[in-house]
Amino acid sequence: MISFDPTENSRLARDFYRKMALEQMRPISRRYDEEEHALPTEWVDYYWNHGRKGAPGNPTGATDGFVQVCIQAEELCFGDAALYLRLPTAALGGSAVAAAGTAEQRERFDAASDEWVLNGTKIFCTAGEGASQVEGGFVVVWATVDKSLGRGGIKSFVVPARTPGMRLVGLEKKLGIRASDTATLVFEDCRVPSGNLLGRPPEAKKPGEKPGDSAKQGDKGFKGAMATFDASRPIVAAMAVGVGRASLDFLLEELARQGIEARFDAPPREQTALGRDLVDMQAELQAARLLTWRAASMMSRGKPNNLEASMAKAKAGLAVTKITQKAVELLGPVGYSKKLLVEKWMRDAKINDIYEGTQQINQLIVARRLLEYSSSQLR
């Protein structure tokens, strides 16, 4: 029998982060939504002192690996997705290092006498302000080093915070996740050590060698960039589940307060229109969570999860959009007002359908994998 029950460590982590979400994040959620780009100092300090080392574990030490990372993401986004994104963690950058970096780079970044010089702009960089300005932070940049190689000429670099030549030029004003900064960074003759190129350095092209051959022998480049999403997409899917659960739980509590109880065990023919909506919302949420845990579990076991990561991301993005919009609708005018956080959750939800690959891109990836088509055969 296949068990979908979390380990005791994961249950402890879930309870630990859920308590943090309710007691530390929810009370300041509205404030930092309205004070866009303001640093939530009290939250960051609290997490740094109480949350970054993780939840207390049980004596057996058994964990669910990457699934537990997704459980943490779900619980903290149940509190507030934007405040979760504001935490001083590696996030997408760390996923890139894990996916494309060497074993040594995953431990530390080596300095070297040779350098790469970056020129260009990085836009829509999540947490880019802190990553580029705060000591200990870093930004991962994908740059083209040889246009003749096409995708093979794309390489990824780690640029430490405050590197000369990297400049913060602006912050986006957004519909949702407004407490999270989304930055534009400009690189002007920005010099980074060769040891900060993720993976092995590309080899020089040999006489008679076809374009792209040397890229295959070099670092992971574009493939490394794509592998990053296999790790980050389940986390984004878990974030979506957290926001969707916040909306559905609140809706169920509010309906119960009015004397309306959900009947999840009743067949469709015995349900009211409202009851069918609630059953559908619950089913969407559970399906998204199980797909997320499956993708995360495969990654923990070292199995390729490109298909499953995209399925989880696509499903969760659709589910959270549907659930939060329906919650606002069923609550009526008060759901649309700022008296409740439900309208904020609806605004926060949409980004999960966009970043780490849009809904359309992830559905395209799923279709290619299921049909065994290449990118040139199915665009």
Q: Among residues 31, 28, 79, which one has the least CA distance to residue 51?
A: 79
The residue type of 295 is: A
Alpha-carbon span 141 to 118, nearest angstrom: 9
CB atoms within 10 A of CB 355: 18
Q: H or E stretch including 347?
A: helix 342-349
Q: H or E stretch including 122?
A: strand 115-126
Q: Which residues pair with 143 in a beta bridge?
A: 155
Q: DSSP of 276-316, one letter per residue?
A: HHHHHHHHHHHHHHHHHHHHHHHHHTT---HHHHHHHHHHH
Alpha-carbon span 58 to 69, nearest angstrom: 17
Sequence-distant (6+) residues with CB within 8 A of 226 are: 306
Q: Among residues 225, 129, 202, which one has the least CA distance to residue 169?
A: 129
**Residue in the block written with tokens 């092209």:** 205
Give the active site residue among 75, 284, 343, 356: 356
**Residue in the block written with tokens 């001083």:** 88
356 is catalytic: yes
Whether the CB-CB separation of 333 and 217 falls below 8 Å is answered with no
Q: H or E stretch including 168?
A: strand 166-171
Residues with catalytic function = 356
